[in-house]
Structure 1
Amino acid sequence: MGKLPSSFILRSVFNAGSHLSNFHSFSSSSNTIATQIEALGKKPMSMSVRGKGKRDDRFDNVDHALVLFNKTIEKYPMPSIVEFNKLLGAIVKMKHYLSVVSKYRRIELLGVSHDVYSMSILINCFCQLGRIDFGLSVLGKMLKLGFEPSAVTFSTLINGLCNQNKISEAVSMLDGMTESGYQPNLIVYNIMLKGLCKTGNTGRVVRFLRLMESRGYEPDIVAYSTILDCLCKNGLLQEALNLLSEMKVKGIRPNVVTYSCLIHGMCNSGQQEEATRLLNEMVDNNISLDIVTYNILIAAFCKEGKVSKAVETVDLMRKQGVEPDVVRYNTLVDAHCKEGMVSEAEGFVDAMIKRGIEPNVVTYNALINGHCLQNESGTL
């Protein structure tokens, strides 16, 4: 693969020259870094805070890693950037991104030159810190130094742009990747789909799906579920069902996430019967339902006053080995009380207690309201 054309450099970094000066001032000292991040409302992690992310096997916490870093920079001769990448890569896994930016600046001042991997780590850190502009600046610096960014580097930036709802810029970067010979993988396309879905522009989302297919990428269950969720949230339920049929024809088996999106959409539009059909389809296809899927349907039936349907769903839930939680019991108790079925509501409270689920203030408030409504009806 040849070097990227200058037109792509300009497009990729979005006039990064204006940001490059910001990057130099941003990374001039660890104090400057902290000040600018704090100004963005980002609270820097204390060096004494234990790493809460995925930890590297070599370190118990970030303190251990930073002590090792301080020992490493005292070595003579100075270790190569490769050794620092291993160490700082471990700190990235602990999610101490600000520390990593600071330490890279420190070794830079000590004369250690960056490589493509260290700059990719920096781009990731800036994106995680919400500073995609600085990440793009590092990309510009990489290109000026003659480094070839990897597809992962571009994926990180595209994800960062999507997270900041800069969808047009993300699309431009994706186009630039493909024009320059980089082949985005399915993960990148799924990131883009997720970003496009956030805009609510369903037409654009579906067009992007077809673009993926035209480029030889067969959408997976993640891509389809993402689009189905977008269609359902925008009330395009028939289009969602059509896409579900398309999945099945292609041999892509819907999963619990797929069905949950559809069931939620149907319930929100008052189509509980269709939601029930989808639920039964899940059961017939031996797809394990989770409590979230059941809760969506039970809440919808209760909202419509169809308490018998809600109870049937609870029975089906139990048969599948999923036990209702206190929130769902409260929904049933409240629905029965509102329908004047207080004795049935009390029966659910007894069932809760027998199953070791402690009623809470919401449970008792529902019962009190139910008795009050019953007394008012009796008085009338």
Structure 2
Amino acid sequence: MLQRRPLPSVVRFNQLLGQLAKLKHYSAVLSLNRQMGLIGIASDAYTLNIIINCYCHLNRMGFGLSVLGQFFKLGLQSSVTTFTTLIHGFVLHNRVAEAARLFSKMVGRGHCQPNVFTFNTLVKGFCMIGNNRAAIQLLGKMEERGCEPDIVTYNTVIDSLCKDTLVDQALNLFTEMITRGIAPNVVTYTSLIQGVCNIGQWKEAKRLLNEMVSKNIFPDVRTFTVLVDALCKEGMIVEAKSVVEMMIQRHIEPDISTYNSLMDGYCLRGEMDEAKQVFDLMVSKGSMVNVRSCNILINGFCKHKKIDEANKVFQEMRCMGLVPNTITFTTLIDGFCKVGRIKDAQKLFCEMQGCGQLPNVNTYAGILDGLCNNQQLSKALELLRELESNKWELNIVIYTIIIDGLCKAGEMVSAIDVFSGLSSKGVQPDVRTYTIMISGFCKRGLLSEAENLLRGMEEKGCSPNDCTYNTIMRFYQ
């Protein structure tokens, strides 16, 4: 096209650039556009909008904004599409405040009137950062500017409210939407069903499900998965299984998320044989197992002290070509430690580092807990000192494990030393840390020290729980 004479119209080039942008070849579009400029092909407004879109997706927002200047330089009129693209770019990269400022400038300076796509983009941004109030206010401003909200606008806000368990507000908005003559769709109902499930309103979930079916809006795989996940988390595994069976009857194939939720439900109830059956079913269906599936099953086996079965799943996932992640290694390391197989845990820890998976604070917590519970306190303290010297940001869980180990070993002086040093490290003890220290004092007959610590925790705003009171009362009987 560049070599043809006469040169093709810029419209033809725009068609090519537009298709490349849709295929996400953003850098290539920018490079080709530079070549166009070098031989004198003048960009039009459509070209510049494509370029802005590419800069936005590449997170080069400064360059995207600078293209606005080219509109004025070339005597072109920026459009609502131009500003909406830039606003979308800011939202895409979680820069919602800047998106809102640009929206205000667009409206305040009268460049052009925002349309429903502009509003929807900013509404999505506010919902994305959990600012439901701003999203609802913007919904109201749409009316003021004569821009009618659509199903996307309402779905976005309803979904955000439901995720924040503000179900009553979501239902009110749902009613308002219907009053306006906007028909709900499967996305609307799925969000509402998820919302009511999250707060345990099963009757309301069933009512919404029946209502959507009565309106000839059929649940999709996400709707059913939401129900399965919520039921499993509540321990209602029989009901969850019946939902999966209903999906199959309706010729809706459960996806990985559905099966993962069902398997997790069985694991939570300790029904590991059933969980493994779900896993095997997923394997038999081909490419229906992911790393999360394996992590769920490994975690279930570890929680119920079936470490050999967990290790078998670990080996199996590798045979399937799945790469264990930090969660996989951490879960299995903790499992080995819990059953006293410290050498196996240490071997796996070395293997983890060897294959490029970085340990996190939870990995070290598992190892420290295992060392403390298996009378290897000196190694635990050595590891703690190593982590501190390497400037790891250790949390109260790590220090509580060490304090508990020292108290159980009768090393109260060392426990007090670690406990007293917490504030200088910027770590605040929680109720469990205090309770362990109080228990340690009581077991050594140091009741006045235990009472002083009880008063001290209350003064520092950490409320004792039943376990704390029971611990100290037991030694007064």
Q: Same fold (TM over 0.5)?
A: yes
State the TM-score, normalizing by the size of structure 1. Answer: 0.68
> Does the 8 A contact of 1:73 with 1:107 survive in 2?
no
Q: How does 1:198-277 map to 2 (within 5 A)?
A: 198-277=233-312
Q: How does 1:351-362 map to 2 (within 5 A)?
A: none
Distance, in Å, in 1 between the alignment partners of 2:398 and 2:126 is 46
> Does the 8 A contact of 2:194 with 2:227 survive in 1?
yes
CA root-mean-square deviation: 4.2
**How much does 1:77 deviate?**
11
Once the two structures are overlaid, the 10-residue window that deviates more, 125-134 or 164-173, is: 125-134
> Does the 8 A contact of 1:65 with 1:87 survive in 2?
yes
Against the structure 1 CA distance between its residues 220 and 72, is the aligned structure 2 distance closer, same or farther, given a 3 Å change threshold? same
What is the aligned partner in structure 2 of residue 154 from structure 1? 189
Once the two structures are overlaid, the 10-residue window that deviates more, 79-88 or 93-102, is: 79-88
Distance, in Å, in 2 between the alignment partners of 1:236 and 1:254 is 19
- Residue by residue over 1:198-231, the C-alpha shift from the partner in whole angstroms, topping out at 9 and shown as x without a partner, is 2211111111111111111111111111111111
Distance, in Å, in 2 between the alignment partners of 1:349 and 1:74 is 59
Distance, in Å, in 1 between the alignment partners of 2:379 and 2:181 is 74
Among residues 200, 222, 234, which one is paired with 1:187 in the alignment?
222
Distance, in Å, in 2 between the alignment partners of 1:152 and 1:350 is 52
Against the structure 1 CA distance between its residues 204 and 333, is the aligned structure 2 distance closer, same or farther, given a 3 Å change threshold? closer
> Does the 8 A contact of 2:196 with 2:205 survive in 1?
yes
Q: How many residues align?
A: 324
Once the two structures are overlaid, the 10-residue window that deviates more, 199-208 or 358-367, is: 358-367
What is the aligned partner in structure 2 of residue 312 from structure 1? 347
> Does the 8 A contact of 1:171 with 1:192 survive in 2?
no
> Does the 8 A contact of 2:132 with 2:161 survive in 1?
yes
**How much does 1:140 deviate?**
2.6
Report the 3-state secondary structure (helix = DSSP H, G, I; strand = E; otherwise coil) of the residue aligned with 2:324. coil
What is the aligned partner in structure 1 of residue 326 from structure 2? 291
Q: How does 1:27-46 map to 2 (within 5 A)?
A: none
What is the aligned partner in structure 2 of residue 175 from structure 1? 210
Once the two structures are overlaid, the 10-residue window that deviates more, 361-370 or 232-241, is: 361-370
Report the 3-state secondary structure (helix = DSSP H, G, I; strand = E; otherwise coil) of the residue aligned with 1:219. coil
Q: Of the two, which has the highest radius of gyration?
A: 2
Distance, in Å, in 1 between the alignment partners of 2:365 and 2:109 is 63
Distance, in Å, in 2 between the alignment partners of 1:133 and 1:361 is 37
Against the structure 1 CA distance between its residues 245 and 99, is the aligned structure 2 distance closer, same or farther, given a 3 Å change threshold? same
What is the aligned partner in structure 2 of residue 47 from structure 1? none
**How much does 1:346 deviate?**
8.4
Against the structure 1 CA distance between its residues 244 and 108, is the aligned structure 2 distance closer, same or farther, given a 3 Å change threshold? same
Distance, in Å, in 2 between the alignment partners of 1:58 and 1:348 is 39
Distance, in Å, in 2 between the alignment partners of 1:246 and 1:185 is 21
**How much does 1:124 deviate?**
3.6
Q: Give the counterpart letter for 1:300 in structure 2.
A: G
Distance, in Å, in 2 between the alignment partners of 1:118 and 1:125 is 11
Once the two structures are overlaid, the 10-residue window that deviates more, 96-105 or 241-250, is: 96-105
Distance, in Å, in 1 between the alignment partners of 2:373 and 2:94 is 57
Against the structure 1 CA distance between its residues 69 and 338, is the aligned structure 2 distance closer, same or farther, given a 3 Å change threshold? closer
> Does the 8 A contact of 2:91 with 2:122 survive in 1?
no
Once the two structures are overlaid, the 10-residue window that deviates more, 242-251 or 317-326, is: 317-326
Distance, in Å, in 2 between the alignment partners of 1:91 and 1:204 is 36
Q: Give the counterpart letter for 2:246 in structure 1.
A: L
Q: How does 1:320-335 map to 2 (within 5 A)?
A: 320-325=355-360, 328-329=363-364, 331-332=366-367, 335=370
What is the aligned partner in structure 2 of residue 99 from structure 1? 134
State the TM-score, normalizing by the size of structure 2. Answer: 0.56
- Residue by residue over 1:233-261, the C-alpha shift from the partner in whole angstroms, topping out at 9 and shown as x without a partner, is 11110111111121122224422211111
What is the aligned partner in structure 2 of residue 50 from structure 1? none
> Does the 8 A contact of 1:342 with 1:371 survive in 2?
yes
What is the aligned partner in structure 2 of residue 11 from structure 1? none
Against the structure 1 CA distance between its residues 84 and 100, is the aligned structure 2 distance closer, same or farther, given a 3 Å change threshold? same
- Residue by residue over 1:14-71, the C-alpha shift from the partner in whole angstroms, topping out at 9 and shown as x without a partner, is xxxxxxxxxxxxxxxxxxxxxxxxxxxxxxxxxxxxxxx9942699543652673587
**How much does 1:74 deviate?**
9.2
Report the 3-state secondary structure (helix = DSSP H, G, I; strand = E; otherwise coil) of the residue aligned with 1:156. helix
> For structure 2, which runs of at least 5 residues remain unmatched after alignment?
1-87, 412-477
Against the structure 1 CA distance between its residues 73 and 210, is the aligned structure 2 distance closer, same or farther, given a 3 Å change threshold? farther
